[in-house]
Amino acid sequence: MTKHTSHEIDIVKSETSKIDAVDFENLTFGRIFTDHMFICDFENNAWQTPKITPYQPMTMDPSARVFHYGQAVFEGMKAYKDADGKIWMFRPEDNYNRINKSAARLAMPEFPREYFFEGITKLLQMDSEWIKTGKGNSLYLRPFIIATDPAISASPSENYRFMIICSPAKAYYTSKIKVLVAEKFSRSANGGVGFAKAAGNYAAQFYPTSLAQKRGFQQIIWTDADTHEKLEEAGTMNVFFRINDTLITAPISDRILDGVTRRSIIQLAQDNGIEVDVRPITVTELKKAAKAGSLKEIFGAGTAAVISAISAFEHLEELYELPNIENSYADTLKDKMLNIQHNLAEDKHGWRYGV
């Protein structure tokens, strides 16, 4: 192994690459990882010198707090390669700010900006072969922080590990999905951690989602915990509703995650003359619009799928099917997003970040 230091990062390069064994045409999301990973430990009240090492399992004390109390936060972001081979990211500053916002809520220390951006840049340069050109192809980056203290006392850890792992991805969730509107279960509550990318938020969704899946629905539209009336998110995505020609999405709150895709879709819609209404929207209003024929689209928005169109929803055992429309906002806005992300369109808001 060749070991050298680049700026502030200790680097151990992998001697071989796993890339030749990967079928890039048939990728299952999040199963395959690149040759390297980024690690930075928080010890003695300070983030230590970061490292990039070959991607590999790691050992950890069984008492590490992450295993017992779920003190863990994460991010999801993507890197793209344009036709000239240049690597781009999309609004990574927003992910950097958000992981620290999530960390603060979980009583974890803030991660330094230089380490975050230098780590990503170096890692992407080392694993650049893993980023394929072509619209829809990307490298998914998963930064995360876990509590590593070997102690099961129920208090915040004093030691942490920040890591970034990378997984090649194709566009997924391509077919339309059917969703169930939550009547009993909740994803988040006022004063809780719904706005944070806390690992446990996902664990808590698995059971209700599996019940929905047994009944033929791919996802759940989460409603507010108090009344189950307000429509808030779709699975692990923010959610948009098109009634007549207006796009409606709920305002950000304690319970709703401030998605980078959501924010970008709102801006792009406005740029293209689509009226956007950021306001609470209820199940009652949605069902009324569906019955009147004014509900034209529902779609989820998030980094992994960009936009995921919804074909039908069920509430109180009644199924509401949406029309199949041409030139949907979902298709139009997804295409505009992908064009900006892949350096195929003008980036008038300065969202692209050249690596």
Q: How far is the CB of 233 from ligand PLP (least distance, A)?
A: 5
Size of the residue set binding ligand PLP (CB under 6 A) = 13
**Among 186, 261, 308, 341, which residue interacts with ligand PLP (rule: CB under 6 A)?**
261
Q: Which residues contact 27 (CB under 8 A, 6 or more apart)?
A: 168, 169, 170
Q: Which is nearer to ligand PLP, 13 or 142 (CB)?
A: 142
How many C-beta atoms surround the C-beta of residue 343 within 10 A?
A: 18
Q: Build a one-symbol-per-residue string for 284-313: x at contacts with ligand PLP by CB under 6 A, - elsewhere.
A: ------------------xx----------
Q: Which is nearer to ligand PLP, 39 or 73 (CB)?
A: 73
Q: How far is the CB of 262 from ligand PLP (least distance, A)?
A: 6
The sign of the torsion formed by the CA atoms of 319, 323, 329, 334 equals: positive
Q: Which is nearer to ligand PLP, 73 or 124 (CB)?
A: 73
Q: How far is the CB of 249 from ligand PLP (least distance, A)?
A: 11
**Among 32, 141, 260, 307, which residue interacts with ligand PLP (rule: CB under 6 A)?**
260
Helix (H) or strand (E) holding 121: helix 113-126
Report helix angle 260-271 to 92-105, nearest 10. Answer: 140
How many C-beta atoms surround the C-beta of residue 319 within 10 A?
A: 12
**Among 39, 106, 180, 237, which residue interacts with ligand PLP (rule: CB under 6 A)?**
237
Q: Which amino acid is at 196?
A: A
Site for ligand PLP in 62-101 (CB under 6 A): 76
Site for ligand PLP in 262-281 (CB under 6 A): 262
State the SS3 of 250-313: CCCECCECCCHHHHHHHHHHHHCCCEEEECCCEHHHHHHHHHHCCEEEEEEEECCCEEEEEEEE
Instruction: Dig out the tokens for 224 from the structure.
Output: 């507010």
Instruction: Sort strands 72-74 and 138-147 into parallel, antiparallel or unpaired.
Output: antiparallel
Question: Quick check: 238 binds ligand PLP (CB under 6 A)?
Answer: yes
Question: Quick check: 259 binds ligand PLP (CB under 6 A)?
Answer: yes
Q: Which is nearer to ligand PLP, 35 or 233 (CB)?
A: 233
Q: Which is nearer to ligand PLP, 76 or 119 (CB)?
A: 76
Stretch of 59-67, 208-216, 256-264, 315-323 lying at the interface with ligand PLP (CB under 6 A): 256-264
Q: Which amino acid is at 330?
A: A
Question: Quick check: 257 binds ligand PLP (CB under 6 A)?
Answer: yes
Q: Which amino acid is at 316?
A: L
Q: Build a one-symbol-per-residue string for 184-223: x at contacts with ligand PLP by CB under 6 A, - elsewhere.
A: -------------x--------------------------
Q: Which amino acid is at 246?
A: T
Q: How far is the CB of 127 from ligand PLP (least distance, A)?
A: 21
3-state secondary structure at position 317: coil
Q: Which amino acid is at 153?
A: S
Instruction: Dig out the tokens for 246 from the structure.
Output: 């207006």
Q: Can you give the binding site for ligand PLP, defined by CB under 6 A?
A: 76, 197, 233, 236-238, 257, 259-262, 302-303
